[in-house]
Amino acid sequence: MLKGKTLNAGATIGIIAPSSPEDKEIINKKIEKFISLGFNIKLGSHLFDKYGYLAGSDQDRADDINNMFQDSSVDGIVCFRGGYGSIRTLSFINNKLIRSNPKFFCGYSDITLLLNYFSKLGLITFHGPMINSNFDDLATLDSFMSIISSNTSKYTYDLNLYKEITYLNPSSFTGKIVGGNLSMICSSLSTPYEVDMKNSILLLEDVNESPYAIDRMLTQLIYNKNLKKCKGIILGSFDGCTLPDYTKSLRLDQVFTDRLKPLEIPIIIGFPFGHSYPNLTIPIGCKAKFSYEKKLFTVEETFLT
């Protein structure tokens, strides 16, 4: 297992845009906020590039990823934003370079496939906020800062703190943390970059998808037989996945119950990660366990050195 080093005040963070572009003014404003948290930064050469809905060409965006891992002055890497496009960089990633230079790597949403691909290479990655995230949300900030400076083998999330969390097939479970954005996970099916769900704790979240679309994607994973491989499923934020009128629709909670309860796999609903806030930082690729009796989710191995 490959691990980056812990990041403390003064660490140099490489900032890249593997997916969609953003206006230069917004990028600079968000970077100023991130610097105020106590970090030094190094910008990817193509951070400000634009090519339609992509932040530059596939090769250029992949080069920024490869170069940040190779650069010995960079301590960790945080993606600027998601959107779309990281899947197009995967065939340009230098696997040997990633394995030889393990570093903290963080993002979510469209970054999901990079997180899980690097995890397949042996690197612990992190599903968490990006540079354009709202670090004024204290729970999001506290989780991020706590994770990046931790090398404990018993890092615990106390689900008793979140009263909105509910459960299907309530039980304890143990597995390897994988997953992230539901749409991106489905887009990886039957490709060389498909997310490995065997003996996993599968994280799922999404944004601005109608309940029928969530139903469709979950059904795809059911028919693909991937969900039956999981030891447990953790559903995060599904922000914007509601409707003003349910006359001709199931509610999202009904979709989850209808599609997932028959799997007879323990499921946590409403864990605070994803496109809403708080967006807690979670290591991808680590073994973890959930105690239903205590309502504690514990990462059971160190994720940084």
User: Catalytic residue positions?
Assistant: 109, 205, 275
Compute the distance between CA of residue 279 and CA of residue 129 in angstroms, rounded to an integer.
7
User: In CATH, which superfamily holds the domain spanning 12-148?
Assistant: Murein tetrapeptidase LD-carboxypeptidase, N-terminal domain (3.40.50.10740)
Compute the distance between CA of residue 17 and CA of residue 305 in angstroms, rounded to an integer.
26
Digit-coded pLDDT (tens) for 76-114: 999 999 999 999 999 999 999 999 999 999 999 999 999
Domain boundaries, the chain: 12-148, 155-299
**CATH class of the 155-299 domain in this structure:** alpha beta
Cis-peptide, bond into residue 278, ω within 30° of zero = yes
Compute the distance between CA of residue 55 and CA of residue 69 in angstroms, rounded to an integer.
19
Beta-bridged to residue 176, according to DSSP, are: 200, 287
Digit-coded pLDDT (tens) for 170-184: 999 999 999 999 999
Beta-bridged to residue 229, according to DSSP, are: none
Digit-coded pLDDT (tens) for 254-267: 999 999 999 999 99
